[in-house]
Amino acid sequence: MTGLPSLVWGQGKVPPPIKFGQPDAKDFEAKSFEADSGATAVVLCDYGVSQFSSTAGKMTITTERTTRLKILKKAGYEYATVEVPLYHQEERAERLNNLHGFTYLPGADGKITKIKLEAGGSFEEKRSNNLTVRKFTMPNVQEGAVVEYSYVVTSTFFDNYQDWTFQHDIPTRWSEYRTSIPQVYQYKILYQGYVPLTTNEVGTGSVNLLLARHVSDGAGPGAGMEVGTTSLTMSTEQHRWVIRDVPAFREEPYSTTRSDYLARMTFELAGIQMPNEKYQDLTDSWPKKNKVLMDSEIFGKAFLDSKFLASAMKPLIAQYPNEAARAAAVRELVLKAVKYDGTNRYWASGPLKRSYELHRGNSADVNLLLIAALREAGLAVVPVLLSTRSHGGVSEQYPLMEQFNYVVALVALPDNKELLLDATEPLLPCGLLPTRCLNKIGHTVPETGEGRWVSLVPSQRYSHYQEVSLTLDAEGNLSGQVHEEHGGYAGLEAREKLQELGEKKYVSQLAAAHPGWEVPSYTFKGLTEVEQSLGLNYELRQAASTAGTAQELYVALLEPFGERQNPFRHAERNYPVDIGMFQQEVIRVTLKLPPGYTAELPKPATLALPSNGGRYMFAATSPTPGTVQLLSRLNLDKPVYTANEYAALRELYRQMLAKQAEALVIKKSG
Amino acid sequence: MLLSLLSFLALSGPPTPKYQADAIAPALRENAHAVVRAYDEVVTVKSASQVIKTVHRVVTVLDEAGSDDYGQLAVPYDALSRINYLRGAVYDAQGHLLHQLRAAEVHDQGLGSEGGSFMTDLRMRYVDLRQPATPYTVELDYEVASENTLFYPDWQPQHSENVSLEGATLQVTTPTALPLRFEEQLLPAGAAIAPVVAGNQTTYRWQLPASAAMEEEPLAPPLDELLPAVHLAPATFEVQGHAGSLASWQSLGQWTYQLGKGRDVLPPALTATMAQLMITYPDPRARARKVYELLQSSTRYISVQLGLGGWQTAPASSVATGGYGDCKALSNYTCALLKAAGLPAYMALVGAGADHADVRSSFPSSQFNHAILCLPLAARGATPADTVWLECTSQTTAFGYMGSFTGNRHALLLTPEGGRLVATPRYGAQANRQQRRTDLWLAADGSAKATVRTHRLGLAQDRYAQLLHEADAEEQKKYVSNRLHLSHFTVTSLRLTSAPVATPQALPGVLETLGLDLPGLATPAGRRLLLEPNLLGHLAALPAQVGPRQAPLALPPASLSQDTVRLHLPAGFKVENLPQPVELTSPYGVYVSRYVALPDGTLQYVRQLELRRPKSATLPPSIYTDYLSFRRKIGQADNAQLVLIKTDA
């Protein structure tokens, strides 16, 4: 939470910010929207009230939402179509009711025409087993129209209280969320975003619920049967949050996922205190969370039952006395045994033995199996929960389980070293997590106790090395050899591309990116040995294309091997640059000059980012007469740069590119 | 009973291995990520209103790159079709059964919002049999029963790159009274087997022999146009009680026309408003333009396709009430508006999309995915007769413009007399042009500032018109920045506007004014500055040809691109060396670049590239070397550098 909420008693008196069916006359005046000239539509008010109530003797969460939008341009029409996902699981289901909507059109005479959303504009689609989508589109939407809709979602998923997102792709004038939760339900509430809350109030109130009484569960006839209703009055905790003038959200490159940047409020059920019942503590501490996980059939109990792997592990124990080597061999075996199906979970889809026999599973099936196998192979291993980049960041403040969606293995080695293992990506070396997992931190799940946070920043970086030896003739033609090494995550990137394209197309694309290049021959090295970097050697010829006279030649030697375009194209940045890993890019070019020529050596340069964020180094030497050696080295030493560091990062790239583009001046001696 | 079952099991022994990977011929492994071992399709026409497709597909996945496409399968269905069964099994390289697909492993998913639709009844079932170890073989059997006999299944066992084929069969059985229509595409000799008549049924058969994997090549037609296929269609059909014939384009048009008949009734007030236009706008073109403006300002595209609604338009009255509809509904509504305004127009079906293949005109069948309007204008005084085509789903497309989405192809005109194939407009190089004028102010340190004014017309403006109308200012800036091929730059200003239209018939245009900050544009080399004056006019390089060219050459539409760069030199610098002027002429186009020193001390660089597309759809593969050399010469000229030197003063 940002700051402490102000205590307000009797906040029920604060009138709602919007009255459905009564748009403001100002919403139809052009001057109200002068400041939004860049926007296609504006959310005038988005108002949600979520509270506990009783329907048919059952407790439910009722969330009423009222939204009013102004459509400014045709490109904003899409905001007049709404999709509401509704989940259901066994008997529990979210339902949408009381859908109402109006489109208000200003006429030339200043009169407002009001058009109702009819039933024909609303549909329900069964998307999958657990998901139904309710969609509706507003009638007669035109430029200048105001559209307004309101609906109620009821839910009995008490463990999934309705979240609220204050920010949208279009500017939002007013976003308000109110909650009223009986004190029997305790939720952890987490606010995140780059926009401060305008209002943050908490108070108390009360709610009257009519709940069905049941004969207590247990043996005997009539157990669980309904025997009338009880009226309960409970005190409630009430919150009211408002953000005014929320800017439109823009996605930026080198980011994780939009939910990491949007202003939003999330809830997780922490505990239940029913009258006359024992308090059910659900989340309050890591030791308890860990115990729940370890007792679960689809987590702890799943990997503790590893006997079915004993016969497969025995030979590995004998063959690899070294524990690091054994861990790698176990991972290799799991990689070959089970295919990751692309679904990210931290819980198994069923018994691990089944995934093992099926040869397929979600990320937890694969990695819990890996954990089971590592245990069976006599290694000290704990699961590490994490959230993939597309799933969003995790907060260290609370043990919120819904933050996580993935599990990997942490192996403790005898020399106090630790190894993070994952068996979903065959093209990655042992000890490197897939790039989707590079999301700062994860948390261990030990058999007992608290566990701890573990850094997910990989020790191996994205490393690209090029060693180039070229010979220049007096006509300006270049020829020579290039040796490339793609290490760490660069190896993964190159291997993925190679797998997709094949060797021939890979090289053909490489050559095509450089006008005038010819690549008569090439060889790849370490194609299948993913533990090593991927090597590529190729022969290079480039016919003279440099401007100049026979007296002087100008050759930009580094440029063809560099990035050639600044990856940070945009001058502004609102959110951090999140690369997730360290990077190194080295180019070493040795040039043999034509006989009778000399080169002017360019000036060396060293540039550094503030607070040890990285550096660029350029050097030019003449190791022997008639040869020139250029060295270009870029190191990025932070996995994440803040928005404030962006300008320096972009400038470092600019200067590097300028240095790489600099032409070597080669002159005929005498 | 028990005994006989046991003895049966004993006799059968362990199952014999199936589909061993070793059995695949080496020639079929070449360049292949997967090998289609069998693709046996059986089509059974039950009646004029029901057709059943049964598929037996066996694919060996050779390496990981083939896994996602061939280790999984999605079978679509909708309100007019159902999947009778979907079974599968996966075998290891030796052909031993690894796993038999279970019912619980068949997932079902709604695709109601697919392709930008608001609501459709499209769904799919999908299975995932991908394996960690390659090679492995996936065997799948499924059957789909369809009540939409407007479409018969097609058969193309090999249709994408890096996949080879061992063999495939197609069998179609139909009541002799419901004759089959088919078109064979590039079939090898002996593929078709003579039909057999048995009782009142006729059975047709085709088979394909082994075929090596293909690779996609640059500027080639899509592979599915280069590989064998059999296209099927009924002679007569019936969808939801609506009977029709596909004997000709006329009859298909007739059926579609009848389906929409009587759905063009407008509310009386709207009819009266339209009739009034006949008085206020006596000129038919001006009146049609007015109607189109009204359509564009009061409706939007919302696609609802349920059951027959995929083919039958919603009534015009529903568009009048709700202000939205799909392509059929909006075209039908506009047609009704025009009719009320005294301008009879025709709906037309078209295969829309920049990459959509043109209609196979020799084979009348439903090959369309979109509806547009065609408005014939009779000669009037000095004004000759003309035809105006209208895209009714866009709120911003210029009146009468058919861009890369629907232009330069054939459409099926729906008239009371039936259907007729007609050509939509095709624009030439002069119509699709981009004219750019750049002022470049260079500083002594090599940095520069530039103002770039670009005028795009016709097909050259399609994307920019979309950007202008559908994106906000921030998104426009992002889009333009992401497409600039410059080492480092900052966009200091950007403005997109619609270009003024000179004549009523002129094609739409978009003006772009761009301000750029270009630190380090010129490269210092001692006392000199090296600079590529061709700031933005590069043509993307083509990958080098490896091995002989296989596919014919399919060139993009004709276009013209003109660049004028005015270089303002920094004080104290003069030109030391200019690249030679270049003039290239080929059957594929003309390229010119030259430099002129202007009296005001600036240097002007002019580049003009006219790309031509020959009349025939494609050129033979042997031409490719020649074409490549034309492109390479352009690439060299585009990258030429000039040298400036510091004067001693």
Question: Which of A163, A238, A174 lies closest to A200, judged by CA?
Answer: A238
Question: Which of B213, B183, B221, B156 lies closest to B620, judged by CA?
Answer: B221
B residues 32-71 lying closer than 8 A (beta carbon) to A: 63-65, 67
Q: Which residues pair with A126 in a beta bridge?
A: A132
Asked if the Cβ–Cβ distance from B99 to A358 is below 8 Å, we say yes
Residue where a domain terminates, one of B381, B399, B423: B423
Asked if the Cβ–Cβ distance from B491 to A571 is below 8 Å, we say yes
- Given CB atoms, is A355 within the 8 Å cutoff of chain B? no
How close does chain B come to A460, measured CA to CA in Å? 25
Does residue B515 sit within a domain?
Answer: yes
Q: Hey, what amino acid is at B477?
A: K
Q: Collect all residues of chain B within an 8 Å Cβ-Cβ radius of residue A495.
A: none
Does residue B12 sit within a domain?
Answer: no
Same domain, B268 and B379: yes
Same domain, B408 and B459: no
User: How confident is the model over A509-526, as pLDDT tens digits?
Assistant: 899 888 788 899 999 999
Asked if the Cβ–Cβ distance from A657 to B487 is below 8 Å, we say yes
Least CB-CB distance to B323: which of A37, A40, A141?
Answer: A141
From CA A210, how far away is CA B101, in angstroms rounded? 48
Does residue B461 sit within a domain?
Answer: yes
The first and second tokens of residue A180, run together, are 């009223």
ipTM of the complex: 0.90
Least CB-CB distance to A77: which of B64, B300, B541?
Answer: B300
Nearest CA in chain B to A650: B488
Nearest CA in chain A to B490: A571
From CA B221, how far away is CA B587, in angstroms rounded? 19
Residues 6+ apart with CB under 8 A from A203: A7, A8, A9, A10, A11, A237, A238, A240
Asked if the Cβ–Cβ distance from B530 to A663 is below 8 Å, we say yes
Answer with the residue of higher pLDDT: B122 or A208: B122
* pLDDT the model gives residue A104: 97
Does residue B174 sit within a domain?
Answer: yes
User: How confident is the model over A584-630, as pLDDT tens digits?
Assistant: 999 999 999 999 999 989 999 999 999 999 999 999 999 999 999 99
Residue A531 DSSP label: T
Question: Which of A331, A290, A300, A295 lies closest to A444, judged by CA?
Answer: A290
E strands of A379-428, at which residues? Answer: 380-386, 406-412, 418-421
Nearest CA in chain A to B303: A137
Helix axes A363-376, A310-319, angle to 10 degrees: 60
Beginning with the edge strand found earlier in the chain, give each strand of the sheet holding B123-128 in spatial order: B72-77, B123-128, B107-110
Q: Collect all residues of chain B within an 8 Å Cβ-Cβ radius of residue A564.
A: 487
Same domain, B255 and B226: no
- Given CB atoms, is B485 within the 8 Å cutoff of chain A? yes
Substitution target in B108, B305, B447, B530 with the highest count of A β-carbons within 10 Å is: B530
From CA A231, how far away is CA A453, in angstroms rounded? 45
Burial group, residue A442, by CB count within 10 angstroms (0-12, 13-18, 19+): buried
Q: Collect all residues of chain B within an 8 Å Cβ-Cβ radius of residue A426.
A: 64, 132
B residues 245-284 lying closer than 8 A (beta carbon) to A: none
Nearest CA in chain A to B100: A358
Confidence of residue B70 (pLDDT cuts 50, 70, 90): very high
Asked if the Cβ–Cβ distance from B110 to A126 is below 8 Å, we say yes
* pLDDT the model gives residue A226: 65
Q: Collect all residues of chain B within an 8 Å Cβ-Cβ radius of residue A500.
A: 65
Same domain, B101 and B188: yes
Asked if the Cβ–Cβ distance from A508 to B474 is below 8 Å, we say no
Same domain, B449 and B375: no
Does residue B550 sit within a domain?
Answer: yes
SS3 A612: helix
Confidence of residue A151 (pLDDT cuts 50, 70, 90): very high
Least CB-CB distance to B520: which of A128, A519, A661?
Answer: A661
* pLDDT the model gives residue A590: 98
Question: Which of B219, B144, B155, B141 lies closest to B187, judged by CA?
Answer: B155
- Given CB atoms, is A647 within the 8 Å cutoff of chain B? no
SS3 A439: coil
- Given CB atoms, is B523 within the 8 Å cutoff of chain A? yes
Q: Hey, what amino acid is at A478?
A: L
A residues 537-556 lying closer than 8 A (beta carbon) to B: 545-549, 554, 556
Report percent pLDDT > 90 for chain B.
Answer: 86
Residue where a domain terminates, one of B375, B400, B423: B423
Residue A346 DSSP label: S
* pLDDT the model gives residue A654: 96
User: How confident is the model over A120-134, as pLDDT tens digits?
Assistant: 889 999 999 899 999
Same domain, B131 and B215: yes
Report percent pLDDT > 70 for chain A.
Answer: 95
Residue A167 DSSP label: -
Same domain, B160 and B232: yes
Least CB-CB distance to B543: which of A120, A141, A509?
Answer: A509
- Given CB atoms, is A119 within the 8 Å cutoff of chain B? no
Same domain, B221 and B188: yes
Give the number of A-B residue pairs with CB atoms closer than 8 Å.
190
From CA B121, how far away is CA A127, in angstroms rounded? 11
Q: Is the peptide bond before B135 cis (omega within 30 degrees of 0)?
A: yes
Mean pLDDT computed over B15-28: 94
- Given CB atoms, is A35 within the 8 Å cutoff of chain B? no
User: How confident is the model over A402-443, as pLDDT tens digits?
Assistant: 889 999 999 999 989 999 999 999 999 999 999 999 999 999
Residues 6+ apart with CB under 8 A from B87: B101, B140, B141, B142
The radius of gyration of chain A's CA atoms, rounded to the nearest angstrom, is 31
Residue B384 DSSP label: P
Mean pLDDT computed over A50-63: 88
Q: Which residue has the tokens 């540039």?
A: A607
SS3 A323: helix
Does residue B257 sit within a domain?
Answer: yes
CA distances from B583 to A203, A634, B417, B586, B609 (A): 80, 42, 54, 10, 10
Same domain, B539 and B395: no
Nearest CA in chain B to A121: B322
Burial B423-451 (b: 16+ CB within 10 A, else e): ebbebebebbbbbbebebbbbeebbbbbb
Least CB-CB distance to B481: which of A127, A518, A569?
Answer: A569
User: How confident is the model over B471-509, as pLDDT tens digits?
Assistant: 988 999 999 999 999 999 999 999 999 999 888 788 999
Q: Collect all residues of chain A within an 8 Å Cβ-Cβ radius of residue B393.
A: none
Judge whether residue A90 has pLDDT over 70: yes
Asked if the Cβ–Cβ distance from B112 to A125 is below 8 Å, we say yes
Nearest CA in chain A to B105: A358
Contact A134, A96 (CB under 8 A): yes
Does residue B430 sit within a domain?
Answer: no
Residue B334 belongs to what domain range? 249-423
B residues 363-402 lying closer than 8 A (beta carbon) to A: 395-396
Does residue B81 sit within a domain?
Answer: yes
From CA A161, how far away is CA A163, in angstroms rounded? 6
Substitution target in A102, A114, A129, A141 with the highest count of B β-carbons within 10 Å is: A141
Least CB-CB distance to A566: which of B31, B488, B523?
Answer: B488
- Given CB atoms, is B302 within the 8 Å cutoff of chain A? yes
Q: Collect all residues of chain A within an 8 Å Cβ-Cβ radius of residue B635.
A: 515-516
- Given CB atoms, is A247 within the 8 Å cutoff of chain B? no
Same domain, B169 and B253: no
* CATH number of B532's domain: 2.60.120.1130
Whole-structure pTM value:
0.92
Contact B109, B123 (CB under 8 A): yes
Asked if the Cβ–Cβ distance from B472 to A74 is below 8 Å, we say no
- Given CB atoms, is A371 within the 8 Å cutoff of chain B? no
Contact A175, A166 (CB under 8 A): yes
Residue A194 DSSP label: S
From CA A44, how far away is CA A148, in angstroms rounded? 10
* pLDDT the model gives residue A299: 97
Answer with the residue of higher pLDDT: A156 or B615: A156
Judge whether residue B524 has pLDDT over 90: no
Question: Which of A274, A335, A334 lies closest to A306, judged by CA?
Answer: A334
Same domain, B200 and B313: no
CA distances from B175 to A570, B51, B389 (A): 65, 11, 41
Out of A297-311, A508-522, B307-321, which region has the weakest mean confidence (pLDDT)? Answer: A508-522
Contact B54, B33 (CB under 8 A): no
User: How confident is the model over B341-388, as pLDDT tens digits?
Assistant: 999 999 999 999 998 999 999 999 999 999 999 999 999 988 899 999
Asked if the Cβ–Cβ distance from A75 to B482 is below 8 Å, we say no
Asked if the Cβ–Cβ distance from A135 to B119 is below 8 Å, we say yes
How close does chain A come to B187, measured CA to CA in Å? 29
Asked if the Cβ–Cβ distance from A139 to B321 is below 8 Å, we say yes
Same domain, B384 and B312: yes
Answer with the residue of higher pLDDT: B3 or A25: A25
From CA B373, how far away is CA B172, in angstroms rounded? 37
The rounded mean pLDDT for chain B is 94
* CATH number of B195's domain: 2.60.40.3140
Asked if the Cβ–Cβ distance from A547 to B530 is below 8 Å, we say yes
Least CB-CB distance to A654: which of B31, B113, B520?
Answer: B520
Total tally of structural domains belonging to chain B = 3
CA torsion angle A59 A63 A64 A67 (round to 10): -170
Mean pLDDT computed over A366-379: 97
* CATH number of B337's domain: 3.10.620.30
Write the DSSP assignment of A77-93 as a string of letters. GGGGEEEEEEEEETTEE
A residues 68-87 lying closer than 8 A (beta carbon) to B: 73-75, 77, 81, 83
* pLDDT the model gives residue B8: 46
From CA A393, how far away is CA B568, in angstroms rounded? 50
How close does chain B come to A654, measured CA to CA in Å? 6
Residue where a domain terminates, one of B181, B214, B236: B236
Mean pLDDT computed over B395-403: 95
CA distances from A627 to A542, A574, B278, B524 (A): 19, 46, 84, 21
* pLDDT the model gives residue A225: 60
E strands of B15-151, at which residues? Answer: 34-47, 50-61, 72-77, 81-92, 97-100, 107-110, 119-120, 123-128, 136-146
The first and second tokens of residue A399, run together, are 């043990």
Mean pLDDT computed over A62-83: 96
Q: Collect all residues of chain B within an 8 Å Cβ-Cβ radius of residue A499.
A: 63-65
- Given CB atoms, is B300 within the 8 Å cutoff of chain A? yes
